Amino acid sequence: MRTHLVTGANSGLGLETVRALAGKNERVIMAVRDLGRGEAARAEILREHPKAVLELEQVDLADLDSVRALGAKQLGLDVLINNAGLGTAPLRRTAEGVYAQFGANHLGHFLLTALLLPQLEKGTDPRVVTVSSGFGRKGKMNLDNLDASQGYNQGTAYMQSKLANALFGAELDRRLRAKGSPVKSVLAHPGVAATPMQQKPTGWMGVVSRAISALFGRPAANGALPTLEAADGANVRSGEVYGPGKGKTDPARREESWPSMRDLEGARALWERSEQLTKTRFLPLSP
């Protein structure tokens, strides 16, 4: 039995990831922002899998003190699944002064990975799975506007945060390999999945989001398949990317890395800024 920690575990792709892992008799730590919703999700899965080993931990990824509290716990991890994501939303800034999508989707996971890495390195076939999005291909990293002082657009903010996920996963792989770490860094994305995230946007973005979800969205359980393959697949190698099959119900498949993932300069600049913002030195490169 391996132990997986899944962020954003109470709904959408996170819930389906936990459900599938529970069905495989894996121990799962459900990291959630709202313990009430987390307990309801846990109870739902236990009705299907009464013998599942499911534990709850609270974390608000937009609050780095909350992330530090979780990262300080001894959890006996084998796999960290950085899944939680904040979608399009009105401008809100974290305590670090960055817009909330970047803070929650990237910075929180960056810090959590840094804090849990020593535990993961003792695990069985340890992995960090970072869930990005196909929208990350369209993002453009602007490290000079993380505070939105030069303007803010909900869609652009989301795409940039998902690009940050992709750059982080790729750079994490390079640094883990340089260190000789046993931990694998693997990226996954669900394609267009019908999840509660698509129902949250308002205005014209909400209309577009719900229409795309209705027309092209694959079931959330299928959208979670790339994450599950990245986390538990037998032949997965560090640095790989897993995405959905061509059809709505096809299995996950390995993809070519995105051109943005090969932006070494951009990835290193993002890493250094993330270290500054989280006040954490993490897998430093040799001089």
CA distance to 172, 249, 263, 271, per residue, from 5 (Å): 18, 25, 29, 23
Q: Which amino acid appears at position 245 of this protein?
A: G
Q: For residue 90, give both structure tokens.
A: 């009105």
**Contact at 8 Å (CB) between 87 and 158?**
yes
Euclidean distance between CA atoms 190 and 217, whole angstroms = 10
Alpha helices in the chain (DSSP H): 12-23, 35-48, 64-71, 100-101, 108-120, 154-179, 203-216, 220-223, 225-232, 264-278
Euclidean distance between CA atoms 160 and 7, whole angstroms = 20
CA 253 to chain centre: 18
- Three-state DSSP at 235 gives coil
Euclidean distance between CA atoms 216 and 210, whole angstroms = 10
Euclidean distance between CA atoms 100 and 282, whole angstroms = 22
Euclidean distance between CA atoms 227 and 161, whole angstroms = 18
**Contact at 8 Å (CB) between 147 and 93?**
yes
Active site residue 242: no
Q: How long is the chain?
A: 287
Euclidean distance between CA atoms 42 and 151, whole angstroms = 40
Known catalytic residues? 158
